Structure 1
Amino acid sequence: MSEKELSERVRQLRNLVVMAFADGSLGEREVDYVAKRCHELGLGESELSHAIRFGLGDDAALELPVAPDSREELLVDLIKVMAADGVLDENEKRLFALAAAKMEVSTERLNQLVDETLKTLDQ
């Protein structure tokens, strides 16, 4: 894995942790999802530990990707983290909406991503 790819994967993981903490708590299902994604991203315990420390820090914020496909991957992951505990908290929704707006994702495409992602979770 290249340094750039590793950096992008670590950023993705940190973003998931930031979203998981957005509602003020970290539930078991959120932890399970973040740990699963960490493994899928080819990252280990060390990266997960660093991501959690980042998420708990005063400077914790989403780091938005530039590439359109990376943006959509992030939005899908954020939707899954938000849905993991079964409760869509207002802080999570605001953070998600802000990220989508800053990444200039159209409302139509955003609705498609939400619908497609939630359908896969129901299966």
Structure 2
Amino acid sequence: MSEKQFSHRMRQLRNLVVMALADGTIGEREVAYVAQRCHDLGLGEAELHRAIRFGLGDDAALELPTDQQERNELMVDLVRMMAADGKLDESEKRLFALAAAKMEISSEQLNQLLDQSME
């Protein structure tokens, strides 16, 4: 895996942890989703621990990609992360809406991504 791919995957994992902790807690199903995505991304336990430390830090924030494909991937992951515990918290919805606005994702694109998230 190239350094660029590794950086992208770590950013994706950190973003998931930030979303998981947006409501102040991280439940068992959220932990399971983050662990599964870590595995899917080809990352190991050390990277998972680093992502969790990042998410628990005072400077934790979403790191928004500039590449459109990476943005779409992030939004799908964030939706799935929000749904992992079976409830949509207001703080999660606000964080998601802020990310969508900052990345200038149209409501049409957002609806497509939401549909894709349910697959």
TM-score tier (shorter): over 0.9
Q: Which residue of 2 aligns with 1:53?
A: 53
In 1, the alpha carbon distance for the partners of 2:27 and 2:48 equals 16
**Match for residue 71 of structure 2?**
71
Partner of 1:40: 40
In 2, Cα distance between equivalents of 1:116 and 1:55: 26
Deviation, structure 1 residue 31:
0.4
Number of equivalenced pairs = 119
**Separation in structure 1 between the aligned mates of residue 108 and residue 91 of structure 2, nearest angstrom:** 22
Alignment RMSD: 0.6
What's the % identity of the aligned pairs? 72
Structure 2: distance between partners of 1:57 and 1:30: 18
How far apart, CA to CA, are the structure 1 residues paired with 2:12 and 2:99? 13
| Deviation of 1:114 (Å) | 1.1
SS at match of 1:108: helix
1:111 offset after TM fit, Å?
Answer: 1.4
- Counterpart residue number, 1:91: 91
Q: CA deviation at 1:116?
A: 2.8
TM-score normalized with structure 1 length: 0.95
> Match of 1:86, as an amino acid?
G
Residue deviations 1:16-48 (CA, integer Å, cap 9, x gap): 000000011000000000000000000000000
List alignment gaps of at least 5 residues for structure 1: none
2:95 is the alignment partner of 1:105: no
CA distance in 1, matches of 2:114, 2:94: 15
- Residue 99 of structure 1 deviates from its aligned partner by 0.3
The TM-score normalised by the length of structure 2 is 0.98
Offset, 1:113:
1.1
Structure 2 unmatched ranges of 5 or more: none
**Which consecutive segments of 4 or more residues in structure 1 shift more than 3 A?**
none
- The whole-number CA distance in structure 2 between the counterparts of 1:30 and 1:37 is 11
Alpha-carbon offset, residue 115 of structure 1:
2.5
Counterpart-to-counterpart distance in 1, 2:29 and 2:3: 30
Distance in 1, Cα, partners of 2:10 & 2:42: 10
Residue 24 (structure 2) pairs with residue 24 (structure 1):
yes
Counterpart residue identity of residue 84, structure 2: A
